[in-house]
Amino acid sequence: MGTLVTVPFRVGSMQKRNKAILVFAALCLIWGSTWYFIKVGLVYFSPFLFAGVRFLIAGGLLTGILFLTGKKLPRTGAVWKYMIYSSFLQRTVYFVWAFGGAQFLHPDFCRASSAFYAGP
């Protein structure tokens, strides 16, 4: 028979746990609905254009957050070279294939297949 291990209750740990559950649920909702909106967007745009517009909007939002928080962009060319190369392979190529496949496949299949993507 196993030994019961108790974890001491910490003040505030319940709030942290509830916040973590809420954040997890929000992420599931947002990421889960992504494929539905991709399917809707592909009615109006080609896969390449839609993926490009999505990344342009996301990049603009993230750049705005970067500047609002006072963070600085990398200064060295080596870092920029690495970021451009890895973003092309890990994001652009993957999402162009995903958006292209979403034209012909059910969103549930696309959502399930994206679980096997080994990106960061």
Span 62-92, pLDDT tens digits: 889 999 999 888 889 999 898 888 877 777 7
pLDDT attached to residue 112:
63
Structural domains of the chain, count: 1
Cα separation of 45 and 38, whole Å? 10
Has residue 81 been placed in a domain?
Answer: yes
Q: Please give the average per-residue pLDDT across 30-41, as a whole number.
A: 80
* Structural domain that includes position 40: 34-112
Has residue 1 been placed in a domain?
Answer: no
Has residue 107 been placed in a domain?
Answer: yes
Has residue 63 been placed in a domain?
Answer: yes
Has residue 8 been placed in a domain?
Answer: no
Sign of CA dihedral 106, 111, 114, 119: positive
Q: Is the pTM of this model over 0.85?
A: no
Q: Which residues contact 53 (CB under 8 A, 6 or more apart)?
A: 45
User: 6, 5, 34: which is closest to 112 by C-alpha?
Assistant: 34
